[in-house]
Chains A and B, each alone.
Chain A
Amino acid sequence: MASLLVENISKRFGNFDALSDVSIRVEEGSFCVLLGPSGCGKSTLLNIIAGLIPQDGGRVIVDGESVDPLSPRERDVAMVFQSYALYPHMTVAQNLGFGLKMRKVPKHVIQEKIQEAANLLGIEELLNRKPRELSGGQRQRVAMGRALVRRPRLFLFDEPLSNLDARLRANVRMELKRIHQRIKGTVIYVTHDQIEAMTLGDSVVVMKAGRIHQSGPPRVIYERPADKFVATFIGFPEMNFLKGTVLDRQGTFLFEGNGFTMDLGLLQMNDPSGDWELGLRPEDIQIHPQRTTPLEIDVEIVSNIGSETVVNGRLGPETINIIAPKDTTLKPGDRASISVAPERIHRFRNGVRA
């Protein structure tokens, strides 16, 4: 177990900036998730931390010491790959034990560790099979087991769940959380799945196009997104954005959108000038079928998804998604009114939280 510090890492592939000036800090024993759309450089960063590809600038520091001169072997990291990358010519047991064997661990200890990891993941009966005789879910387990048999300084996970079907993914996700709570270990986990990021991470680093947009605990990322990208990327259905300007009415502020106005209450705004965008999370919007508030929408689509109902409506020219109670009686063509608690309103100017 170790702490990790990534300092000002940059990496170019030809003319493409894969990473620009990326810095992260991961405390010992914590679970850090790198979250972003594909091509944002998160896997590249993981490979740089592992020492598999060299960075162009910046440093990787583990436990206060630079590991840049060290080979992947010497860095003592364990990695789980998206494609699993099992050794096809070895049995599951050999796959699990390979890293220990390479590190000259005595045979009987290797046997013990293999058993231990197999128990942890429930793959005891697969130990003598070859990877090609396993299902996708089983291969995924072996890939994780290969990392878990060792107690490396860092665990690196590169989208380990992305090839599983939705149900299996949810199960393994929970299991991964359980395992981490048990064995601790410093984990850097790459994913494009916001649910994985929110449920697994002690901290989340949101990346796009080789840059970090925000990092922090998942709650903070969700509650106070630093910019429009983070706000859109996290949360489903996506946050609603309303364009407009802000009017100062002696201490209270009024948001003037396209064909509607919204009372921002007593929110403090130092400089209300310029163009604004309000961000409203679908679950923060109250919907009133009796039209008891001044802000009215036209209901267009009503989708019942079991636990709740997603109402898709139109506020002036803007579409707006709202999560309504599952027993709502609204139907397309209805008019309803909405309201949002002022403290739940996210304000963005020039795409950045203000």
Chain B
Amino acid sequence: MTHQGREKIELLTLSILRIIGIVFFIIISAFPLYWMILSSFKALEELLMNPGALGIDFRGVTLEAYRQVLFDHGFIQYISNSAYVSTLTVVLSLTLAMIGAYASTRLRFRGRAFMSYSILVIYMFPAIVLVIPLYVVFSRMGLRDSLHILILVYLAQTLPVALYMLRSYFRSLPVEIEYAGLTDGCTRLGVIWRIIIPLSAPALATVALYTFMIAWNEFLFAFMFLDSPEKFTLSRGVVQLAGSVHLSKQLVMAASVLVTFPIVILFLVFERHLVRGLAAGAMKG
């Protein structure tokens, strides 16, 4: 066999394997999503009679499931609870992480190295280990059934990684830019606000998205800490719905779509900012 012939066969094999791989992963990740969306638009009888139908029948499309979920099962409340919790977590986490990351990269203080290590150690505690002690503590303090306690827990969960990500980004920013800002007449805070934040937009967007996803999808703590239905977050609400006596699949599917889509939309909006590196052109190049 000639050298060229062998190369061709190798290339061909690789591209076939690649296609098989892609198709496989699309099927296992996209199929449940597809079935979920499809089912959420169907009437109950149709779903019960023919749950395996994968074609789209536009005559059978109904928004009845969404209407019921949103208005009869209180999901409007859950959505606003989740939005509140997630947004506040993002804002607080970003603010604290930014200040903390800046301090740990740029300022010299006692215990700086220790702080850097301990940040990650905290992150390595599995949630399940913490949830029961926290349950007890918050119950005794009478703080349990509250969205703000949830936000506090989410902050503790997201801050370490947020700090870690921002820190490595801040390290990549040249210190001379800050020096330039300081001699140009900024205060330290002015430098952060006018120079560091605009330059860190991609990193901040990434961290915001990550934090939002964690807070939006989180279930374990929401399940343990929230008792009154008017305080439920979305994921908690979906489980409540799925566990209720009259098992109507299309309602659960509609609720799941409501959980999933904000994240997808957010990702599409932010995606553009994630890839762009703003720091290009600052230095001599």
Binding site for B on A (CB under 8 A): 47, 50-52, 71-73, 75, 77-79, 81-89, 98-99, 102-103, 130-134, 136, 139-140, 146, 156, 163
Listed residue (A78, A102, A103, A133) with the most chain B CB atoms within 10 angstroms of its CB: A102
Contact B185 A73, beta carbon cutoff 8 Å: yes
Nearest-Cβ distance from residue A226 to partner chain B, whole angstroms? 32
Contact B199 A102, beta carbon cutoff 8 Å: no
Which B residues are in CB contact (< 8 Å) with A133?
281
Binding site for A on B (CB under 8 A): 174, 176-177, 179-187, 190, 195, 198-199, 278-285
Q: How far is the CA of A82 from the CA of B285 in the complex (A)?
A: 12
Closest to B186 in A: A102
Q: Total contacts A to B, CB within 8 angstroms?
A: 91
Contacts A102-B190, A139-B285; is A52 near B184 (CB within 8 Å)? no
Nearest-Cβ distance from residue A88 to partner chain B, whole angstroms? 4
Q: How far is the CA of A51 from the CA of B188 in the complex (A)?
A: 13
Q: How far is the CA of A72 from the CA of B180 in the complex (A)?
A: 10
Closest to A129 in B: B281
Contact B281 A130, beta carbon cutoff 8 Å: yes
Contact B185 A136, beta carbon cutoff 8 Å: no
Contact A102 B179, beta carbon cutoff 8 Å: no
Chain A interface mostly helix, strand, loop or mixed? mixed
Which A residues are in CB contact (< 8 Å) with B183?
50, 52, 72-73, 75, 77-79, 99, 156
Contact A102 B182, beta carbon cutoff 8 Å: no
Contact of B281 among A72, A81, A98, A134 (CB under 8 A): A134
Given contacts A83-B282, A87-B181, A98-B181, 19 further A-B contacts (CB under 8 A): A47-B179, A52-B183, A73-B182, A79-B183, A83-B283, A83-B284, A85-B180, A87-B195, A87-B282, A88-B279, A88-B281, A89-B198, A99-B185, A102-B185, A103-B185, A139-B281, A139-B285, A146-B184, A156-B183
Contact B285 A102, beta carbon cutoff 8 Å: no
> Which 5 residue pairs spanning A and B have beta carbons closest together?
A132-B281, A102-B185, A85-B176, A131-B281, A99-B184
Nearest-Cβ distance from residue A109 to partner chain B, whole angstroms? 15
Contact B180 A81, beta carbon cutoff 8 Å: yes
Which A residues are in CB contact (< 8 Å) with B285?
132, 136, 139
Nearest-Cβ distance from residue B179 to partner chain A, whole angstroms? 5
Contact of A88 among B185, B190, B199 (CB under 8 A): B199
Nearest-Cβ distance from residue A17 to partner chain B, whole angstroms? 19
Which B residues are in CB contact (< 8 Å) with A134?
281
Which B residues are in CB contact (< 8 Å) with A163?
284
Which B residues are in CB contact (< 8 Å) with A83?
174, 176, 282-284
Which A residues are in CB contact (< 8 Å) with B278?
88-89
Listed residue (B179, B183, B281) with the most chain A CB atoms within 10 angstroms of its CB: B183
Q: How far is the CA of A88 from the CA of B282 in the complex (A)?
A: 5
List 22 A–B pairs whose Cβ atoms lie within 8 Å, in order of A's numbering: A50-B183, A51-B182, A52-B179, A71-B187, A73-B186, A73-B187, A77-B183, A85-B176, A85-B179, A85-B282, A86-B180, A87-B195, A88-B278, A88-B279, A89-B278, A99-B184, A102-B185, A132-B280, A133-B281, A139-B281, A139-B285, A146-B180
Which A residues are in CB contact (< 8 Å) with B186?
73, 102
